[in-house]
Structure 1
Amino acid sequence: MDELELLKRDWQKKDKQLPQISFDEIYKMIWKKSSSIVKWIFFISVIEFALPHLLYFLPSMSKSLAIWKDLGLGNFLLFSNVVQYSVVLFFIFQFYKRYKEISSLDNAKQLLSNILKTRKTVKYYVIFCLSLIFASFMVMAVGIYLNEDPMTAMGYSYRPENISPEKLKTTLIATVVVLGVVVTLVMGCIYFLLYGILLKKLNKNYKELKDMDI
């Protein structure tokens, strides 16, 4: 049992007319833990934003960008990048704002309110990121469907002799759709590990404060 649990048990045994020094100690510990959790959420979001830019230096990433342009999806790629940067930077700013707010709080009710706001912000952020990932694959599937020769556009010169162009296109579209579902699910699991564990701890802090009848 950690120090916070011991302090909480001791506080609950005290008479309400006694000075609530232990309550202040418990609140300060919850406040510090919450501030640390939100700080990590902010740091992870910044790393997550910066990491893909490092991947642009890889040859495989350059080839992937070229495929998008060859499929006639260059404008969508530009538009999605603008939307992604704008929204992600907005969320990063919100995480930083929540961290600064919680770090300067001295009121338990305000801490409860900010924990709720942080939970909602993380939830919307994860939904946006997963939606953007899935939408990107769906748009690529549409690009393949509209392209007369998607194999050439994707940089493949190999042509199977025992399959018609229409069936080949359908196979490519189905592959992209399935891949989109798989990647979205995998990224969902990663987001659960990155943010879910932190939110679980944040929820625990929230329940601790609620149980103290603030």
Structure 2
Amino acid sequence: MINKEVLEQDRLFIKSWLDAYFDSPHRDILMSHPAKMEEEDYGVPSDMQDGEVDEEEWVRWKMLDSKVTVDQINELVASYVKSGSDTHSSSFSLPPLYTAYLSSRYVLNVYLRYEGFTIELPNLPSDYPLRELRNLWSSSELLVKAGYIPFASYEDHAGPVCWDSSKPNDDNDYAVVWFDHDILTEEGQPSREQLEHYAQPLFHSFREMLMRSSSSTRS
């Protein structure tokens, strides 16, 4: 059960963090993206567009307050995570801070920069805010069933960044790892034990992942 007071605090934290992230010398680049030209494409929806679409079909965009609800997020979790037979996935819930990220603002182009690598969080456009996360889970069923829950992408989509739901902490958050796509493809149907061998540790939690990136947002 989500604690509403904690969720509101986390949403305020996310909004403040996003404001700091986009307060950058690279703001003009970060806040430009291809415009949505077809119903099913992944461009900037009309209500997020901030100005005219240029000749290359790019447009500046703006953040908007999100209308995503906790019920919608829980529905997604129930559909993709709890459908697995593995005990790790059946007991999984999203870290509260990630629930706050999904339900605070519609936002694009969030790349967390660290020394030697970047991590890309899912885009949350106003028309299909949970689509990228849904697609990530749909394409990672073996990881999900083994208790590794994808929530971001490592370094130009080299592989999924996941929570290890077998390692929760006191804040209902999880250790963060990543998997190389090439290794997952080579292994075919890896067991939990094999995946533990291939999991490359990154952070103790999603909160730490955001906090450690904050000094990079202004570089």
Q: Place the TM-score, normalised by the shorter chain, in its bin.
A: under 0.3
Q: What TM-score, normalized to structure 2?
A: 0.25
Choose between structure 1 and 2: higher strand proportion: 2
Choose between structure 1 and 2: higher helix proportion: 1
Q: What TM-score, normalized to structure 1?
A: 0.26
Structure number with the bigger relative contact order (C-alpha 8 A, sep ≥ 6) is: 1
- When Rg is computed on C-alpha atoms for both structures, the one with the higher figure is 1
